[in-house]
Amino acid sequence: MKTKQMQPSRLVLALLAAGAIGGAGATALTGGVSMAADAPAVAPATQAISTSSPPNFAQITRDFGPAVVNISVSGTRKVSAAESDDPLAQFFGQIPGSRGRAPDREVPMRGEGSGFIVSQDGIILTNAHVVQDAKEVTVKMTDRREYKAKVLGADPQTDVAVIKIEAKNLPVVKAGDVNKLQVGEWVLAIGSPYGLENTATAGIVSAKGRSLPDDTSVPFIQTDVAVNPGNSGGPLFNDRGEVVGINSQIYSRTGGFQGLSFSIPIDLAYKIKDQIIEHGKVQHARLGVTVQEVNQDLANSFKLDSPSGALVSSVEKGSAAEKAGLQPGDVVRKIDGKTIVSSGDLASTITMAAPGEKIKLDVWRAGAQKDLVATLGGAPKDKTQASADGQEVRPGQLGLALRPLSPQEQQSSGSEGLLIERSAGPSAKAGIQPGDVLLSLNGVPVHNIGEVKEALSKAGKTVALLVQRGEDKIFVPVQVG
């Protein structure tokens, strides 16, 4: 029997409203390790580890709990025939006795999350996925006051959203310094898990700068704080009562907490907030490379002293990387003096930068170190926009980010289609994955974005995509949004 792999689970509270997520339990084990009386000391007394009691979480909760809010959202979402509660429609896509495909219909959507007030005039930070598709947002304070909130902006790439309520002299949180946060430090989360408002849970920082195997490039703070659906968007405090992160994701087999939770660093969140408030939108920097991990075999092949860095597998035409002189086969070891241990480190470092910013790259090429300087470009406005030639496939259609295959990729895949860099919306729901190669749409071969758009213009509400995944080619039906 195969063991089910642990999958990343966003704390999407529509699942809670639908009763789709069960509760999570935990058992605490306490105890100590004793040493035999005649056992030698393991270290000199001068190297003994000092002990201290946990921070005063009660005081932190009293002081800053009032700045943590419960967020309720309502709206509608489109549901296809395959999602309807009619069992035959799920299999055949139509209602018995009707002709053709059953039309999509809108159904009510409700959810809950958390947030925290960062200014006395009502600016609140939360997660983008908490307010996604929301028509109405209600903020509830700890003193039971309720306000209607306006979504000022949301950035799906970092999962940060800014909302505002019309109020004055509100309690606010203090922002901490993420750079001073250390692994092993105590942290406290306050939020509304499963709708239970003003719940406080505590733990320690498990890791910093953690990259996750999804479509984000956020250098997450990993903790063992009990975070569940409803904690999304709530604050993560350090032991001095300063906010160091926004609780965003968990790893789970069940949908509930299992000891791995992830928070967006507050310095990144504030950068997003400032852009949304000032410009009404967010611009992300872009280097324009595809990278992969460096394992021991690759390190040996490239004569690296350790299996670390980000191996450049392709460089986009006209990108900042190409202009800086980056080449496939380069290994990026440092950016502005910061060591790049894994490929995720490169993505998160670029995320923290701004378009137009210059960065210094320490690159390993052909057995020697080389310095390059790149002026970062701007990323597409939406994650589903993409292509090296600046064209796009709208998210309302397929939800795909596409680009032409490089000569090396064409040779490797043996095909001449389009590489799927990101998959969202209808395509992600249908099972299309980043790394797949799009070969045809409704039987029409596609080699560029223009051909995809033309084929889409002649398609109905469902299109058949022929994709190559590894050595396999499969048709995947996608219901166009």
Catalytic residues: 129, 159, 232
Exposure of 93 by Cβ count < 10 A (0-12 exposed, 13-18 middle, 19+ buried)? middle
Of 124, 224, 232, which Cα lies nearest the Cα of 184? 224
Give the number of residues written for the chain.
Answer: 481
CA dihedral 255, 256, 259, 260 (to 10 degrees): 40
- Report the 10 Å Cβ neighbour count for 386: 22
Q: Enter the DSSP assignment of 18.
A: T
- Report the 10 Å Cβ neighbour count for 92: 14
Exposure of 329 by Cβ count < 10 A (0-12 exposed, 13-18 middle, 19+ buried)? middle
For tokens 């408030």, what's the residue?
277
Of 261, 260, 253, which Cα lies nearest the Cα of 3? 253
- Report the 10 Å Cβ neighbour count for 57: 18
Of 324, 321, 342, 323, which Cα lies nearest the Cα of 333? 342
d(CA 124, CA 444): 48
- Give the DSSP H or E segment for 323: helix 320-324
Token pair in block for residue 292: 């992969």
Which residue type is seen at 143? D
d(CA 199, CA 481): 38
Which residues lie across from 445 on neighbouring strands?
440
